[in-house]
Amino acid sequence: MNNSTENSKKIAVIGMGYVGLPLALLAEKKGYRVTGLVKNKEKAERLNNRISPFHDAFVEKYLSGSHLTVSTDYTDITDAAIIIICVPTPIDTNHLPDYSPLLTACHSVAAVLQTGQLLILESTVNPGVCEEIIIPLLKKESGLMCGKDFHMAHCPERINPGDPEWNVENINRVVGGYDNESLERAVRFYESVLTGTVTRMGSLKEAEACKIVENSFRDINIAFVNELALSFSKLGIDIVNVINGASTKPFAFMTHYPGCGVGGHCIPVDPYYLIAYAKKNGSHLDFLSLARKINNHMPAETVNLVMKGLNKIKKPVNGSKVTVLGLTYKANIDDDRESPAYEIIKGLKSGGASVCAYDPFLPARSDAGTLDEALTGSDAVLLVTPHNEFKEITPELLHKYLITVLIDGRNYFIKDDFINNGIVYFGIGR
């Protein structure tokens, strides 16, 4: 293969989001010249002015001092040795894979792809996407053959937003290649930037399957405890105590906790990619589909709990005011993708309640500017996201606002503190 670019230290990263931006800054920190690519000029300008589009400790640490250049022009990456695609892979309203952001990126890459370049996909995809969608598209539109003219690898991202311990540099990764040369080039790159381990997979499909399996595993385990929660609450058993008890077993048990729903751009999304691909190839992942169904039902169960709590004080949902604390999909971050909060709010409103949402990480989407404002005039409080700020919720504070119902969507509070102080408390499975 003509190595016109292979020895260049220039890297191109397509997509400057939760995955691409930390990766670009890491590569830059490790001595590569990095060009980031985004869709619109405003985003490019903000990043070139060192304004981060989201909260991330690694980004906040390295963005201001970096030499990262961000562009919207793909002709800026024709001299890159490696092009890394880090675009979203969402689902549509029918829970089917939406490959459009990925296809858009691939069309743009095809227009500028050079011989000798290595293309790496980090976006999470089902097995088969590299070999059945991306490589044929590049061949058709660039005329270049994978393996002969350019290399291709897949290294699924494992970013955990808001995690203070695991970041883009130290998380272990897996890599699959179109052929051995592709694999080894990709392994060399990741070993040059990561402190975590780099594990070779036997194929592109194995690497694609890895990430999907990791997140499907998590979704299934969450569904398991969610289903138990719905049952144990009728048996008078506190599921959280049971899980904590089971977790004292030092092996063969992994804790997951029930909640008001499963949000984020990974866990409630990735399994649908595998379900769709398996179905296309003649197998039905009934267990994984059922797990999705159970988790998707938790927002409705949460609305029922609010109804149950209000009924305890002889108030109908209709006409009551409910404070919803938290809109993001998990604590102390500003990401609300696939957050269960919105479905819960829709359910409460369709029952005739007025809702006052407050999330300190999403002021623009909150109805109240402060916790006190959110509590004023409320009949019940529902916690959806366990942000640190909500530790301020005490029985005394609720009584100050004449609120006597607390629904704990993340089993965040110590229930007896509230029950013993005249508050109607329901958690998820407790």
- The stretch among 112-120, 234-242, 254-262, 356-364 that binds ligand SAJ (CB under 6 A) is 254-262
Q: How many other CB atoms are found less than 10 A from the CB of residue 318?
A: 10
Tell me 168's DSSP state: T
Q: Which residue is nearest to ligand SAJ (CB)?
A: 264
Please say which residue, 154 or 158, places its beta carbon nearer to ligand SAJ.
158
Q: How far is CA 340 from CA 152, 228, 236, 374, in A?
A: 37, 19, 26, 19
**Which of 151, 185, 218, 315 is close enough to bind ligand SAJ by CB under 6 A?**
218
3-state secondary structure 331-385: CCCCCCCCCHHHHHHHHHHHCCCEEEEECCCCHHHCCCCCHHHHHCCCCEEEECC
Contact between 260 and 302 (Cβ < 8 Å): yes
Contact between 245 and 167 (Cβ < 8 Å): no
Catalytic annotation, pick one of 86, 146, 266, 356: 266
Please say which residue, 74 or 329, places its beta carbon nearer to ligand SAJ.
329
Q: Which residues contact 204 (CB under 8 A, 6 or more apart)?
A: 130, 131, 152, 153, 154, 176, 177, 178
What SS3 state is found at 109?
helix
The distance of closest approach from Cβ of residue 315 to ligand SAJ in the complex, given in angstroms and rounded to an integer, is 28
> Based on C-alpha coordinates, what's the Rg of the chain?
24
Please say which residue, 106 or 262, places its beta carbon nearer to ligand SAJ.
262
222 is a contact residue toward ligand SAJ (CB under 6 A): yes
> Checking DSSP bridges between strand 151-154 and strand 173-177, what pairing results, if any?
antiparallel
- The stretch among 90-98, 108-116, 213-221, 375-383 that binds ligand SAJ (CB under 6 A) is 213-221
Please say which residue, 25 or 138, places its beta carbon nearer to ligand SAJ.
25
Q: What sign has the CA pseudo-torsion 102, 120, 18, 277?
A: positive
The distance of closest approach from Cβ of residue 157 to ligand SAJ in the complex, given in angstroms and rounded to an integer, is 6
Q: How far is CA 29 from CA 159, 168, 412, in A?
A: 18, 12, 38
**Which of 8, 71, 115, 160 is close enough to bind ligand SAJ by CB under 6 A?**
160
What is 243-268 written as a DSSP string? HHHHTTSSSS-------S---SSSTT
Please say which residue, 149 or 338, places its beta carbon nearer to ligand SAJ.
338
**Stretch 257-296: interaction string toward ligand SAJ, x if CB under 6 A:** x-x--xxx-xx-----------------------------
Please say which residue, 161 or 351, places its beta carbon nearer to ligand SAJ.
161
Residue 12 in tokens: 């191109």
**Which of 159, 305, 306, 307 is close enough to bind ligand SAJ by CB under 6 A?**
159
| Active site (annotated) includes residue 130 | no
**Stretch 305-344: interaction string toward ligand SAJ, x if CB under 6 A:** ------------------------xx--------------
Please say which residue, 117 or 339, places its beta carbon nearer to ligand SAJ.
339
The distance of closest approach from Cβ of residue 161 to ligand SAJ in the complex, given in angstroms and rounded to an integer, is 5
Q: Find, among 134, 29, 136, 158, the residue nearest to 83 by Cα.
A: 134
409 is a contact residue toward ligand SAJ (CB under 6 A): no
Amino acid at 372: D
Cα 396 from chain centroid (whole Å): 35
**Which of 158, 185, 315, 387 is close enough to bind ligand SAJ by CB under 6 A?**
158
**Which of 46, 139, 200, 256 is close enough to bind ligand SAJ by CB under 6 A?**
256
125 is a contact residue toward ligand SAJ (CB under 6 A): no
215 is a contact residue toward ligand SAJ (CB under 6 A): yes
The distance of closest approach from Cβ of residue 330 to ligand SAJ in the complex, given in angstroms and rounded to an integer, is 5
179 is a contact residue toward ligand SAJ (CB under 6 A): no
Which residues are part of the catalytic machinery?
A: 266
Report the interface residues with ligand SAJ, using CB under 6 A.
157-161, 214-215, 218, 222, 256-257, 259, 262-264, 266-267, 329-330
